[in-house]
Amino acid sequence: MDRARLALIVIALAFAAALPWLGGPFWTGLATQMLIFGLLALSVDLLLGHAGLFSLTHASFFAVSAYTVAILQVRYGWPTIAAAPAGIVLGTLLAAVFGISVRTRGVYFILITIALGYVVWGVAHRWSSFTGGDNGVTNVPFPALGPAAITSHTQYYYVVLAAVILCGLGYRVLIRSPFGLGLRGIKASETRMQSLGYRTGLHLYAAFVLSGALASFAGVLYVYYNKFVNPVASSFPVSVEAALMAIVGGTGSIVGPFLGAAVVLGLRNWVSSFVEMHHAIMGAVFIATVLWAPQGLVGIAQRIHARLAKGRHG
Amino acid sequence: MADPALRVEDLAKVFGGLAAVDGVSLAVAAGERRVLIGPNGAGKTTLFHCITGTLKPSSGSVALFGRDVTHDPEYRRTALGMGRTFQITNVFPDLTLGEHLALAIVGTDRRKWVLHRPAEAFDEVRARALEGLARVGLEGRAHLPAKLVSYGERRQLELALALNTNPKVLFLDEPCAGLSPAERQRISQMIAALPRGITLLMIEHDMDVALGLADRVTVLHQGRVILEGSPEEVRANAQVRDVYFGHGEALRG
C-alpha cells in the first residue's frame, strides 16, 4: 500500500474516533446512520458492483433481522447475545429463500426482487398482532453483553464504527478471494465462466445469501441505534436508497457505498431543513451521477488522481 | 475398442423453420485432430455450440468419452475434460490476464469456492498462471487488464483460457478469426505444438491452416456432413471444391 493511501486511512480513522468531541451528538448520530446504511449499501454492492445483479429487496433482510432482534428483546426478554445472532440467522434464511431470484437476469431479476420486497413490507404492515403494524416494535434497549452494557449513543457509535471496520476488512478478503474473482468473471461474461467450469447460478446464489447476511447484520446495528423498528425499514424506498448510495459513492469499491451513504443522508438532512421536496433533490443527484459520473465519487477521485499523476510525470 | 473422445449422433438444431444443423453424426477418436470446414452458414458454429453445451440440440445426442452429455450444462462438460474457445472473443475486459488464468485454473477444482483467502495468495495458481500465459506467448502481460491488450493478444488469451481447465478434448472455434497472416501462423504453430494426447476439434476457414493441422477433415454443407476424410481426400474432392470454393477457382497450396 502506498504512503498517501495509508496516511488517508489514518486521518479518516482519527477523524472518526474524534467525531463525538468535534461534532457533538447531532453529528455523531448522523455518522452512526451513515455507517449503518453504508453497510447496507455495501451488501447491495456485493451483488451490484461485483456480480452484476441489481437487487431491490435488501430492505427485507435488513428489516426482518431488525424485527427479530426487537421482538425477541422487547417481548421475550432475550439478551443481546442471543437476539442479535438470531436476527442475522433469520435475515440470512430469508435471503436463502429469496435467492431463487438468481434464476433470472437483468430486468426480470430487478422485478422479482421488487415483488419479494413488497411481500415482506406487506407482512410487516398488515400482520399487526405480531409486528405491531404501523407502530412497529418500540423500546428496544441498547445492546448489552452481560455486565458490559452500552449506555449512550456516543458509546454505541464506537460499537458501530468497530463493527463496520471489521466488516470492511472481511469484505476486502471476500472480494479478493477466488470466489470474489469468480463473481467479477460472471459479471463480465457468464458464458465464458460456464465454459471454465463454473456453475454460475450456484455461485450467484451463494453471493446473494452472503449479501443478505451482511444486510441482516446492518439491520441488527440499525435496530439498536433506532430503538424501534416499523414497516418503513422494510419498504421499497429503503432498498432503492441503499442501491442509490452504492451508485452515488461508486460501485465495486468498499469506501464507495459509505461515501454514498454520507452524501445521501447528509444531503437529506441538510436539504430537508429548508426545502419540503428533498426527494426531488435526491432524484436530481441520482440523475446527475448516472449521466456524468457513472463510477460515482470513487470514480471521480480516481480520475483526479490519474490526472494529477499524469501532470507530475509528463 | 475405447470410446471416442467425442461422439455426435444424428444431431439436429432447428431455429424456427430453419434446420441449421440437420442430422450430423461424427466420432472423433481420442488423440485425433479433426478440423471442421464448410462455407458460411454451413452450421459449423451451431454444431459447435450444441457440442459444448451453449445450445440445446433439437434432437440427437452428444457423448464425451462415452458418457452422454446431451442434457448436461456446459460447466459439467468442462469438468469431464472439455476445453473450448469462442469464435467471438469472450474474455473479461476489466480483469487482468493473470486473473483470467487464475479463474481458469481454479474453475475445475474446489478452490473456486474459497472465500477467506485472496486469490493471489495461492502460489501454485500464480505460478501456473504465469506458465499458462508464457505458453501462448503472453509472458510479461499478467498484470494488464484484457481491455488494454491487442486483439491478437486477446485471441491468444482465448486459447490460454481453454488450455488451463485441464482439457482432454479441445473445441476451437476459428482460433485465428480476424488475425493478420503473421498472427495466424503464430496461433496455428501453438496449436500444432499441443500435446498429442489432447483431442482436437477445430473450425477453421483458412484451408492451409486447416489441412496442415488436421488428421481428418469433416466438411459441412447446409447443416449436413458431405464428406469426411484425410486432408488429401478433401483437397482432391470435386464436390468440396464446388461448395467450398465455388466453381472454376483453383485451389491454392
Mutate to test the interface with A, among B87, B92, B128 (most CBs of A within 10 A): B92
User: Residue B90: its chain A contacts at CB < 8 A?
Assistant: 189, 191-192
pLDDT at B253: 42
Question: pLDDT category, A280, cuts 50, 70, 90?
Answer: confident
- What pLDDT, in 10s, does the model give residues A60-82? 999 999 999 999 999 999 999 99
Task: Give me the pLDDT at residue A254, please.
Answer: 95
Confidence of residue B224 (pLDDT cuts 50, 70, 90): very high
CATH number (domain holding residue B128): 3.40.50.300
Instruction: Tell me whether residue B61 is exposed, middle or buried, using C-beta atoms within 10 angstroms of its C-beta: 0 to 12, 13 to 18, 19 or more.
Output: middle
Tell me, what's the pLDDT at B246?
63
Residue B228 located in a structural domain:
yes
Helix axes A278-292, A236-249, angle to 10 degrees: 40
- Residues B202/B191, Cβ–Cβ less than 8 Å: yes
Domain assignment present for B1: no
Q: Domain of B74?
A: 6-245
Give me the pLDDT at residue A239, please: 96
- Whether the pLDDT of residue A184 is over 90: the answer is yes
Tell me if A178 and B102 make a contact (CB, 8 A cut-off). yes
Contact B219, B35 (CB under 8 A): no
pLDDT at B252 exceeding the cut of 60:
no
Q: Which residues of B touch A214 (CB under 8 A)?
A: none
pTM of the model: 0.93
Q: Do A177 and B116 touch (CB under 8 A)?
A: yes
For residue B251, tell me if it sits in a domain. no
In the block, cell 456516543 appears at A154
CB B97 within 8 A of CB B141: yes
Which residue in the set A179, A192, A197 is minimally distant from B90, CB to CB?
A: A192
Residue B159 lies inside a defined structural domain of this protein: yes
Q: Determine, yes or no, domain membership for B188.
A: yes
Q: Residue B104: what pLDDT?
A: 96
Residue of chain A minimizing CA distance to B89: A192
> Which of chain A's residues have a Cβ under 8 Å away from the Cβ of B84?
195
pLDDT greater than 60 at residue B248: no
Rounded to 5 degrees, what angle do the CA atoms A217, A218, A220 make?
65
A107, A110, A115, A118: CA torsion to nearest 10: -150
Asked if the model's pLDDT at residue B1 lies above 70, the reply is no
The residue assigned the cell 502506498 is A2
DSSP-based three-state secondary structure for A194: helix
Nearest by Cα to A178 from B39, B3, B122, B55? B122
Residue type, B144: L
Task: Decide if B91 and A199 are in contact by the 8 Å CB cutoff.
Answer: no
Query: Which chain A residues are closer than 8 Å to B72 by Cβ?
Result: none
Q: How many of the other CB atoms lie within 10 Å of CB of A174?
A: 19
Q: Round to whole Å and give the CA distance between B198 and A211.
A: 41
Read off the pLDDT of each residue in B205-218 and give the average, rounded to a whole number.
Answer: 85
- Kindly tell me if the per-residue pLDDT of A25 is higher than 50: yes
Is residue B253, in this structure, part of any structural domain at all? no
pLDDT tops 80 at residue B247: no
Mutate to test the interface with A, among B75, B87, B111 (most CBs of A within 10 A): B75
Candidates A56, A12, A63, A10; CA nearest to A36 is A63
Cβ-proximal residues to B207 (8 Å cutoff; 6+ apart), any chain = B37, B251, B252, B253
Min Cα–Cα distance to chain A from B168, Å: 14
pLDDT tens digits along A122-164: 999 999 999 999 899 999 999 998 888 999 999 999 999 999 9
The string of DSSP letters for chain B reads -PPPSEEEEEEEEEETTEEEEEEEEEEE-TT-EEEEE--TTSSHHHHHHHHHTSS--SEEEEEETTEE-TT--HHHHHHTTEEE--SS----TTSBHHHHHHHHHHHTSGGGG--SS-GGG-HHHHHHHHHHHHHTT-TT-TTSBGGGS-HHHHHHHHHHHHHTT--SEEEEE-TTTT--HHHHHHHHHHHHTS-TTSEEEEE---HHHHHHH-SEEEEEETTEEEEEE-HHHHHH-HHHIIIII-TTPPPP-
Our count of domains for chain B comes to 1
CA–CA separation, B107 vs B112, rounded Å? 6
Beta carbons of B217 and B24 less than 8 angstroms apart: no
First to last CA, chain A: 23
Using the predicted structure, report yes or no on whether residue B149 has a pLDDT greater than 60. yes
User: Which residues make beta-bridge pairs with A137?
Assistant: A229
Chain B hits for A209, CB-CB cut-off 8 Å, are none
B116 contacts on A by Cβ (under 8 Å): 173-174, 177
Contact B126, B107 (CB under 8 A): no
Whole-number pLDDT of residue B207: 78
> Residue B87's closest chain A neighbor by CA?
A192
Per residue in A188-232, pLDDT (tens digit) is: 999 999 999 999 999 999 999 999 999 999 999 999 999 999 999
pLDDT digits (tens, 9 = 90+) for B57-103: 999 999 999 999 999 999 999 999 999 999 999 999 999 999 999 99
Distance CA B198, CA B187 (A): 16
CA distance B136 to B149: 14
Cell digits for A234? Answer: 422494510
Q: Answer yes or no: do A197 and B99 touch at CB < 8 A.
A: no
Best probe of the B interface among A103, A195, A205, A209, by most B CBs < 10 A, is A195
Across the interface, of B90, B103, B115, the residue whose CB is closest to A191 is: B90
DSSP 8-state class, residue A281: H
Q: How close A200 gets to chain B, by Cα (Å)?
A: 9
Cβ contact B90–A197 (<8 Å)? no
Calculate the average pLDDT of chain B. 90
> pLDDT tier at A290 (50, 70, 90 boundaries)?
confident
Q: How many residues does chain B have?
A: 253
Contacts of A182 in chain B (CB under 8 A): 103, 112
Please give the Cα distance from B3 to B8 (Å, whole number): 12
| Closest-CA residue to A160 (of A44, A247, A258, A78) | A258
pLDDT, position B123: 94
Mean pLDDT of chain A: 93
Cell of B230: 484425410
Q: What are the sequence ranges of the domains in chain A?
A: 30-233
Q: Quote the DSSP letter at residue A111.
A: H
